[in-house]
């Protein structure tokens, strides 16, 4: 009987699992609170706009019946806080099981955020086990959640934890602290000794500020052939570098490149972050062997071409970086011109040889420069005294 009834919600979800092994139930054994951001839509029927934008409805019925009232929806935190304020007054100071049910139209990500807020709330200390988040009793496409709590005994937990035939029933999980592991020495962040070099500090600041200012431009350019986030990714890296500027070993070229590599690897994200981290790491390694600066930078370029597989002409940041480094021995102004020339050439490349753009058709690429190459050119432009 229990395994055929578990799809019903609390009193029709938790209790049948427990009734298999016991009949007597504690007084006030369960409490449920439902919240909806929008009600369900029946197939071939118009949607009723009963819940205004910016509102949630509390206690609405599983079939879309009106609830006990509406509240403002400012954030997930405030919505969950409203729900638990109604639940907390009925909960005793003992361990509870919480069932978090997706009413049908709430995304997996949203459900995870709701559970996190629930566990961080005042109710978190009273919750020892969780079922869900999952779609156990839905209301078609209703964008909402129901949170149910039950003061379960050890015998109840055994019943709730037994295997059942319906695959949709999620397992009972205990709430445990997050386990952390200390990073190995090879993976642990390196702590650098700050050193002053006003010229290098100023150059880095100017480049970072320029990249942050160009965020919207880079995003718009990337939207022509990619996912439109190059500007956001580059700006995030620049902001991380600026926030750590006081701790940078600016007077030690080798250590400075190593520090930049570490920050980009942690903060930038995406393939660009990895490749630029590799670039500065390889440059730092070359500098440690007393390699000249330009040769060391070219060693970094060779390394990212090896790791990333791109080469000049593939419509990537390599198309700006390679010509810039080739001309760097003639001065930073000449290098900046080389970088911009490389950027301009990417707008005439109809078929990318690497990166996300390899999947983009010709008409989406022609006439638009590669955003990664454009970012490299902006850096060289702002290195010019």
Query: Can you say whether the dihedral through the CA atoms of 84, 88, 91, 96 is positive or negative?
Result: positive
Residue 314 three-state SS: coil
109-132 burial code (b ≥16 CB/10 A, e <16) = ebbebbbebbeebebeebbbbbbb
Residue 171: phi and psi, rounded to 5, are: -75, 155
Q: What is the pLDDT of residue 138?
A: 81
Structure tokens at 74: 């400012």
Superfamily holding 2-41+49-174:
Dihydroxyacetone kinase; domain 2 (3.30.1180.20)
pLDDT of residue 274: 92
| H-only helix segments in the chain | 2-5, 14-19, 76-88, 108-120, 154-160, 198-213, 215-223, 230-243, 253-267, 270-288, 293-308, 318-327, 332-346, 362-365, 371-383
User: What residue has token string 């055994």?
Assistant: 158
Could you state, in order of their start, the residue ranges of all structural domains in the chain? 2-41+49-174, 198-383
Secondary structure string (H, E, C) spanning 262-300: HHHHHHCCHHHHHHHHHHHHHHHHHHHCCCCHHHHHHHH
* Gap between the Cα atoms of 163 and 159, Å rounded: 9
- Please, are residues 102 and 145 in contact by the beta-carbon 8 Å criterion? yes
Residue 331, classified by CB atoms within 10 Å of its CB into exposed (0-12), middle (13-18) or buried (19+), is exposed
Question: Are 90 and 52 a contacting pair, CB within 8 Å?
Answer: no
Per the confidence metrics, is the pTM higher than 0.75?
Answer: no
Q: Residue 367 contacts by C-beta under 8 Å, 6 or more apart in sequence?
A: 347
pLDDT score at 186 = 64
pLDDT at 30: 44
Which of the residues 28, 37, 63, 382 is marked catalytic?
A: 63
Q: Taking the CB of residue 234, how many other CB atoms lie within 10 A of it?
A: 30
Q: How far apart are CA 143 and CA 34, in angstroms?
A: 11
CB-based contacts of 62, cutoff 8 Å, min separation 6: 9, 34, 103, 137, 139
63 included as an active-site residue: yes
pLDDT at 188 (0 to 100): 73
Instruction: Tell me the CATH architecture of domain 198-383.
Output: Alpha Horseshoe (1.25)
DSSP state of 46: P
Cα separation of 76 and 78, whole Å?
Answer: 6
What sign for the dihedral angle of Cα 213, 214, 217, 218? negative
The CB-side HSE value for 327 (13 A sphere, CA atoms) comes to 16
Report the C-alpha gap between 194 and 364 in whole angstroms. Answer: 45
Same fold, 2-41+49-174 and 198-383: no
Q: Which token pair is 296? A: 């060391």
**Tens digit of pLDDT per residue, the chain (385 long)?**
333 333 344 444 554 444 333 333 333 334 444 454 444 454 555 555 666 566 766 666 666 666 556 666 777 777 787 777 777 777 888 888 988 888 888 889 988 988 998 898 888 888 999 998 998 888 777 788 888 888 888 888 888 888 888 777 888 899 888 888 887 776 677 888 999 999 999 999 999 999 999 999 999 988 887 778 899 999 999 999 999 999 999 999 999 999 999 999 988 888 889 999 999 999 999 999 999 999 999 999 999 999 999 999 999 999 999 999 999 999 999 999 999 999 999 998 878 767 776 766 777 777 888 999 999 999 999 998 7
List of residues 6+ apart from 42 with CB closer than 8 A: 140
Contact, 273 vs 267, CB < 8 A?
Answer: yes
pLDDT of residue 180: 86
CB-CB contact of 114 with 103 (8 Å): no
Q: From CA 335, how far away is CA 326, in angstroms rounded?
A: 7
Q: Give buried/exposed letters for 77-92 (b at 16+ CB in 10 A, else e).
A: eebbebbbebbeeebe
């Amino acid at each position: 009987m229990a395994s055929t009834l578990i799809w019903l919600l609390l009193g029709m979800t938790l209790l049948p699992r427990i009734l298999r092994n016991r009949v007597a139930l504690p007084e006030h054994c369960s409490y449920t609170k439902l919240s909806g951001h929008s009600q369900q839509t029946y197939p071939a029927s118009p949607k009723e706009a009963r819940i205004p934008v910016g509102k949630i409805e509390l206690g609405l019925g599983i079939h879309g019946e009106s609830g006990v009232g509406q509240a403002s929806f400012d954030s997930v935190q405030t919505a969950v806080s409203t729900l638990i304020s109604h639940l907390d007054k009925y909960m005793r100071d003992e361990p509870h099981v919480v069932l978090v049910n997706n009413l049908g139209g709430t995304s997996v990500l949203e459900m995870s955020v709701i559970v996190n807020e629930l566990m961080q709330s005042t109710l978190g200390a009273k919750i020892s086990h969780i079922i869900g988040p999952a779609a156990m009793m839905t209301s078609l496409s209703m964008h909402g959640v129901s949170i149910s709590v039950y003061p379960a005994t050890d015998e109840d937990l055994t019943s709730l934890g037994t295997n059942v035939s319906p695959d949709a029933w999620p397992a009972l999980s205990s709430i445990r602290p997050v386990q952390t592991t200390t990073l190995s020495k090879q993976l642990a962040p390196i702590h650098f000794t700050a050193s002053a070099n006003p010229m290098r500090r100023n150059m880095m600041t100017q480049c970072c500020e320029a990249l942050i200012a160009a965020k919207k431009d880079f995003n718009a350019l990337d939207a022509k052939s990619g996912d439109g986030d190059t500007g956001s990714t580059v700006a995030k890296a620049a902001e991380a570098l600026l926030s750590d500027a006081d701790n940078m070993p600016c007077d030690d070229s080798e250590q400075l490149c190593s520090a930049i590599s570490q920050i980009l690897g942690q903060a930038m994200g995406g393939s660009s972050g990895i490749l630029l981290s590799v670039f500065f790491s390889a440059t730092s390694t070359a500098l440690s062997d007393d390699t000249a600066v330009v040769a060391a930078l070219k060693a970094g370029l060779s390394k990212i071409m090896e790791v990333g597989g791109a080469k000049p002409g593939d419509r990537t940041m390599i198309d700006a970086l390679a010509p810039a480094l080739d001309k760097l021995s003639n001065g930073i102004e000449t290098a900046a011109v080389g970088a911009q020339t490389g950027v301009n050439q990417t707008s005439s490349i109809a078929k990318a040889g690497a990166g996300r753009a390899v999947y983009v058709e010709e008409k989406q690429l022609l006439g638009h420069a590669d955003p990664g190459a454009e970012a490299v050119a902006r850096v060289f432009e702002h290195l010019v005294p």
